[in-house]
Amino acid sequence: MADLFEWLANLGLEKYSDVFVKQEIEYEHLPLLTDGDVRDLGLPIGPRRKLLDAIEALRDVPTPKHDRLTRPSEAERRQLTIMFVDLADSTPMALRLDPEAMSDVLRAFQSAVASEIGRLGFVAKLMGDGVLAYFGWPRAHEDDARRAAAVALAIVDAVAKLPSPTAEPLACRVGIATGLVVVGDLIGEQSAQEHVVVGATPNLAARLQEAAGPGEVMIADTTRRLLGNEFVIEDVGQRRLKGHEQPTPLFRVLRKKIRHSQFDTQEQAGSVQIVGRESELALLLRAWEQARSGRGQAVLLTGEAGIGKSRLLQAFTAAAAKEITTAHIFQCVPLHGDNPFWPVVSAFSPAAPIVDRIAEDGRQGNHRTGRRDTISALATQLLSAARSGPTVIIFEDVQWADQATLDLAGHLAHSVGDVRVLCIVTGRPEAEQRLDTILNLTRLALGRLDRPTSAALIAAVAGGHELATRSHGDILARSDGVPMFLEEMTRAVIEMTPDGGTVSVPATLRDSLIARLDVLPAMKSVAQIASCVGRDFSESLVSAASDIDAVELRQGLEALREAGLIVTRANGRFRFKHALLCDIAYETMLTPRRKQLHRSIAETLETMSDSFVEREPESLARHWYAAGENGRAEVYWLRAQHRAAHWREQLDALADFVEGDNAEGGPIESAWNRRKLH
């Protein structure tokens, strides 16, 4: 990897290395340094000039392009999973081999690694014996960390299979870390450094790679949490990494877990007791009773992300565990949404007859009639299990199902009537349209938890931890009764802020939230501008306060609405469905952009209507503060305070009136009419 010290030495500036170390500047940061930054280093004019020229030259170095790159229009802050891959023992090998043989090795290594990464991630840099990759950029996915881990394992295999010029097989070391970074076009239009990443995460990934042994994949704790339980992971303990003051926990990814079609009734490690959902659970258990008695049932369980569909299923299978003879779970995932029957194939061993049947369908070229036959044959095979006892067949997350799997689910729902089978199909609301044609599904929509149940969930997650009242209120307000948000926010409060300070969006939520904004560029840019206005915003204000064109704004709003991220209210007004979505859209912007937007929102509000300024001076104060104009904000704060005080006076007066004068029986309204309130 190109090294800062080496670079400084080449310029004859090595004696200034300490200055760079002190300012925590790394090689990757160099192209981002502005003239002002370089001046702040305090170097004499001669070296400073030399440095500026060399930085300029660095910006002209072409970096690898990628065909999947759709260039974001500007730099942004986002969560990335970053991977460093390094060819193990390349230095001794380079000393032993002649340069030509070594360059063949490096070329083969780079091409093997880049082609694995290219399937699911983005190759950011090829550096001789090292490769840097991003997962979650240019577009985020809910499962970026899992993609990175799967690719890392494939890379380790691929490199081990490369022809080796020595007796030893080739091996690589992989380091992966996930965190918030600034990424994108930090320099300006047409810059070659458009995908430079700045933040602590790349450094951590590089250190993890150094800590990995040959053939090992070492990951950071944040990445491990995002992997869920799909991989076998080994806790390596804590180690002090170079440049890190505190010891860092390290984890090794060993392999992917093999899926079993048997439903896992064990509660996931760390998951809390289910709260609420009594009536929904009762409905499932009633359907199960009927199915057991030979009147098969099909239930469609819908609800937004994180609302608790899977948790409810878990509670159901735990409650019914003793009576379930066979359980099949077909898990749909976004990655395989175009792969016919993927959820079914992955649930069985490759040798199972059902997999053979599907392979046969593939060989027949997937003709419609062939597919129909296959579906009914598969359905028969699955339903035949009911002969030996009550059976549960679950299709999880059908919003990501391929059409063939969806047809299979539909076929089963039609055919369960007289067998001992309960078929449960789960999906987010958008899945419902795809299942419109299936008539005999009992529909069960999960809503958000009410306040007392939300509070019970917070208490369950917090366990013995005392939460400050403010944090408790904060979590309730920002989680909107969505269990996933309640759970993650509570965990974040417990882990990060022992004294109950303000919490930002937890890392475990970021990927899924950003992925939902990342579908269309217009979606994200509209969401970003809107997030500066606040959770409630109007189309007219977003339009007036930004340079977004009318078509893009319309497209963005429509896409956000269709994706269920915002809801329409009256008079061209909208609301982010979750407070956290508003937070995350806001977080993705860099400070200068936020400031600029707040400024133009404030200016627009000032000119838009006097009554707004009168009604909500505190909103203007907020925007001016956020724009960095404390003086202008102050004026509005004073107004807001004055208004609040005035209101209190009026309310006191009203209370007196109601208690006193009211003896004459005058309606309260008339009091409001008589007294001018503001």
Ligand X SMILES: Nc1ncnc2c1ncn2[C@@H]1O[C@H](COP(=O)(O)OP(=O)(O)OP(=O)(O)O)[C@@H](O)[C@H]1O
CB 310 to Mg ion: min, Å: 3
CB 508 to ligand X: min, Å: 9
Element (H, E) at 203: helix 200-211
CB 500 to ligand X: min, Å: 22
CB 306 to Mg ion: min, Å: 8
Binding partner of residue 428 among ligand X, Mg ion, none, CB cut-off 5 to 8 Å per kind: ligand X
Distance, CA of 612 to CA of 622 (rounded, Å): 14
100-127 per-residue burial string, b: 16 or more CB within 10 A, e: under 16: eebeebbebbbebbbebbeebbbbbbbe
Distance, CA of 420 to CA of 327 (rounded, Å): 12
Output the six-digit token pair for 32: 């981002």
CB 442 to Mg ion: min, Å: 19
CB 596 to ligand X: min, Å: 35
Q: Which is nearer to Mg ion, 340 or 427 (CB)?
A: 427
CB 424 to ligand X: min, Å: 12
User: Residues 499, 504, 505, 508: is their CA dihedral positive or negative?
Assistant: negative
Q: Which is nearer to Mg ion, 8 or 333 (CB)?
A: 333
Q: Which is nearer to ligand X, 85 or 275 (CB)?
A: 275
CB atoms within 10 A of CB 665: 6
* Longest CA pairwise span in the chain (Å): 107
Binding partner of residue 617 among ligand X, Mg ion, none, CB cut-off 5 to 8 Å per kind: none
CB 253 to ligand X: min, Å: 22
Distance, CA of 482 to CA of 578 (rounded, Å): 9
Q: Which is nearer to ligand X, 225 or 573 (CB)?
A: 225
CB 584 to ligand X: min, Å: 16
Binding partner of residue 306 among ligand X, Mg ion, none, CB cut-off 5 to 8 Å per kind: ligand X
Q: Which is nearer to ligand X, 149 or 489 (CB)?
A: 489
3-state secondary structure of 139: coil
Q: Which is nearer to ligand X, 86 or 487 (CB)?
A: 487
How far is the CA of 336 from the CAs of 340, 352, 403, in angstroms? 8, 20, 11
Q: Which is nearer to ligand X, 198 or 460 (CB)?
A: 460
The conformation of residue 199, written as its DSSP 8-state character, comes to S
Binding partner of residue 296 among ligand X, Mg ion, none, CB cut-off 5 to 8 Å per kind: none
Q: Which is nearer to ligand X, 28 or 402 (CB)?
A: 402
Binding partner of residue 456 among ligand X, Mg ion, none, CB cut-off 5 to 8 Å per kind: none
Which residues sit opposite 134 in a β-bridge?
82, 122
Residue nearest to ligand X (CB): 308
Interacting residue ranges for Mg ion, rule: CB under 5 A: 309-310
CB 332 to Mg ion: min, Å: 10
Check: CB of residue 458 under 8 Å from CB of residue 425: no
Per DSSP, the residues of 431-480 read: HHHHTTT--SPEEEE-----HHHHHHHHHHHHTTPPPPHHHHHHHHHHHT
Q: Which is nearer to Mg ion, 63 or 310 (CB)?
A: 310
**In 301-386, where does DSSP find H-type helix?**
309-320, 342-347, 353-363, 368-384
Distance, CA of 8 to CA of 18 (rounded, Å): 11
Distance, CA of 546 to CA of 652 (rounded, Å): 42
CB 315 to ligand X: min, Å: 8
3-state secondary structure of 78: strand
**In 521-572, where does DSSP find H-type helix?**
521-533, 539-545, 550-562
Amino acid 252 reads: R
Q: Which is nearer to ligand X, 455 or 613 (CB)?
A: 455
Check: CB of residue 29 under 8 Å from CB of residue 193: no
Which residues sit opposite 248 in a β-bridge?
239
Binding partner of residue 308 among Mg ion, ligand X, none, CB cut-off 5 to 8 Å per kind: ligand X
Binding partner of residue 102 among ligand X, Mg ion, none, CB cut-off 5 to 8 Å per kind: none
Name the packing angle between helices 483-496 and 451-462 (round to 10°).
Answer: 40
CB 385 to Mg ion: min, Å: 24
Binding partner of residue 457 among Mg ion, ligand X, none, CB cut-off 5 to 8 Å per kind: ligand X
Binding partner of residue 145 among ligand X, Mg ion, none, CB cut-off 5 to 8 Å per kind: none
Element (H, E) at 386: none
Q: Which is nearer to ligand X, 296 or 306 (CB)?
A: 306
Nearest alpha carbon to residue 539 among 556, 515, 562, 514? 556
Binding partner of residue 538 among Mg ion, ligand X, none, CB cut-off 5 to 8 Å per kind: none
Binding partner of residue 311 among Mg ion, ligand X, none, CB cut-off 5 to 8 Å per kind: ligand X
Binding partner of residue 280 among ligand X, Mg ion, none, CB cut-off 5 to 8 Å per kind: none
Interacting residue ranges for ligand X, rule: CB under 6 A: 271-272, 274-277, 303, 305-311, 397, 428, 457, 483-484, 487
Q: Which is nearer to Mg ion, 109 or 400 (CB)?
A: 400
